[in-house]
Structure formats: C-alpha cells, structure tokens
Amino acid sequence: MANRIQGHEGYDYILLVPTVLLLGLGLVAIYSASSYLAAHKLGDSYFYLKKQAFFCLLGLCAMVIAKNIPCTLYRKFVYPLLIINFALLVLLFVPGIGANVGGASRWLRFAGFSFQPSELAKLSLAIYIAYSMAKKGPSMAHFSKGLLPHLLVVGSFMVLILLQPDLGTTIIIGFWLLILLFVGGLTLVQIFAIVLLSMPMILWLIWNASYRLKRWGAFINPWEDPQGLGFQIIHSFLAFGSGGILGVGLGNSKQKLLYLPEPHTDFILSVVAEELGLVGMATIIILFAILIMRGIKIALNAHDLYSSYLALGISSFISIQVLINMGVVMGLLPTKGLALPLISYGGSSLVVTLVSIGILLSISARS
C-alpha cells in the first residue's frame, strides 16, 4: 500500500510552486518589457507575449510528458541523444540552415521559429554524464577511465559551441562539468590541474577577439564608453537605482522605452528591478532558491546513483544560469547573452528548462 501511494503521490509537487510562479512572473515581465518595443518595431505590442505564451504551453505539456516517463528510460537513449544533438550543432554551420545573427550562428530556423541546439545540448550532456559516472563508479578517480572520456565527449560539444562563437556558454558547460566530475569522484588536484591548463586557452581566446576585450573593458569601467559598449550595463544600473524598495510600478519602467537594448531577453531582470524594486527582486531570488534547493534535495534522495547525478546535473545547470544572469545585469560579471530561466524571452531555453523540471519530478516519484 505504501509503495502504491509513493508511486502515485510521490512527486515533489513543492517543486511546481516556484516553477509556476516564475512562469507567471516571466509572462508579465515579458509583456511589460517588450510591449513598447514590439509596438514600434512590429506594430503589435502583444507580439513577444503571444510567442512566449505559446512556448510556455508547449513547455508545460512537455514537462507533464517528461514527468510521466521513468527517468531510467533515458539511459537507453544516451548515445542517440548525443549523436542527434551533435548533428544539430554541426548543422548550424551549413549555409541556408543555420541562421547567422549578429555574426553568430546559434539558431536553426524552421517554419518561422528559431531553435537553439546549445540549450538541448545541456540536457543531453546532463543525461550522458549521469549515465557514465554511475556506470564507472569507483573508476571515476582514474584519469583514463574517469576523466579523459568525459573531457573528450563534452569537449567536442564545447568546441562546436565555441565556433558559433559562444565563449560564455562554453565556459559555463566547462564549469558545470567540473562540478559534476568532482561529485563523481575526481580529486581536487585533478580539478585544479584542469583549471590551470584551461586558463591560458581562455585568456588567448579573449585576447585574440577584439569584441571580447572590449566587453572586459566595459565590465571594468563602463563609464569609459557610455554611448558604446557601456551603454547597456549603465542603463541596467539606472533601472536598478530608480527601482528603490517598491519600484516605480508595473508597466512604468523608463529604461524599456528603447533605452535598454532588448529588455525582454538577457536584461529582463533590470526592468523587473525598476518596476517592482527590491521586493520584486527578493521574491524572484527566493523562488529560484526554493526551486534549486528542491532539485538538490531530489538528487540527495534519489533512488539510484544515476538518478542522483541526473538531478544534480539539471539543478546545477539551472543554478549556474541564474547566478550568471543576475551577476551580469548587476555588473558583477562581464556581459554574456544568457537567458534567465523561466523568465527571459526565448522558446528554446523555456521548453528545455520545463522538460528538465519534468525529469526532476519523475526522479522524485521514485525517491
């Protein structure tokens, strides 16, 4: 009887509370941040809201499906998922298939919709790493069995993402991999060795790309070029400063009036801070904290090692993206085009995040 109740009612529904609330806040924030821009640019103030609402419904349906699929089933499709996702990343460089926007090939276009394969790659890699580390077990501490295979597989994905070019996402995946490998059994000496060996390459990539150097300059001193590279972060500062404790009121942001570039995507938190103030920001931070803590609790209570690693991998990806996005909009990190999960405009990120939460629910049902 106890097993039947656990199987039917064992889902961690507390995980759904911050998810649904963040989705609702995201839709409100997207309309508020994008309505003026959409009306002037596209003649329809509801344009971005309607597209995001569609992806929200699609993502919720996908989440429900993922919730009802046993998480152990993904182990059977680890390598097909990797191959398909690798092929999608390669297609980005095929003329006529990959969409080049602002000098970067990060999107595939189908029937008027854009899809970002790097978002799906994060989930595919989380499934692969969980499967591989659980299978190797104590062998994870050995270089040839534990470290090298994972570096080769994940490294091949990182190279394709770097060539888009997208150094920020590449570094995020690398940092995420080190967290998972450390939990899986790698020693601190091995982790530090990887970091030390990687630093010269990262510095070389920054030094040999003028736009990356300029971004670092804008991060260190945005006021040196207030009308150029420092423009976006300065207006983000102005949004945070004018918001105060309670904000200027929903819909009353001034920075979204074509001052803050693309306010409904990477810098949507700046508009939220201006309109809802410190109270609104604190609410979002608390909701994300609950979401991530429930994900970690699911990982700790998981039925088997594979499920535990998978839950931890998903929770880590969400937490890293949240921390980096918040750090960027507050000027604590260099500018990086990274969406805020569940809130920023973007179908690929939203659907993959909701599928990931569905997998967490599936894992929780077997705890």
- 176-224 pLDDT, tens digit each: 999 999 998 888 888 898 999 999 998 898 888 887 888 888 888 888 8
For residue 96, the SS3 value is coil
**What percentage of the chain exceeds 70 in pLDDT?**
96
249-281, pLDDT tens digit by residue? 998 899 888 888 888 988 999 999 999 999 999
Cβ neighbour number for residue 156 with a 10 Å cutoff: 12
Give the mean pLDDT of the chain. Answer: 89
Residue ranges per structural domain of the chain: 24-365
State the Cα–Cα distance between residues 31 and 25, nearest whole angstrom. Answer: 10
**Phi/psi of residue 107, each to 5°?**
-125, 145
Q: What is the pLDDT of residue 8?
A: 41
**Phi/psi of residue 77, each to 5°?**
-115, 20
Total-model pTM: 0.92
Q: State the pLDDT confidence band at 60, using cuts at 50, 70 and 90.
A: very high
284 touches 269 (CB < 8 A): yes
Query: Poorest-confidence range of 36-50, 85-99, 314-328?
Result: 85-99
Q: What is the pLDDT of residue 1?
A: 35
Number of H helices, E strands in the chain: 13, 3
Kindly tell me if the per-residue pLDDT of 152 is higher than 80.
yes
Kindly tell me if the per-residue pLDDT of 6 is higher than 80.
no
Q: What is the pLDDT of residue 322?
A: 95
Q: What is the pLDDT of residue 93?
A: 87
DSSP 8-state code for residue 108 = E
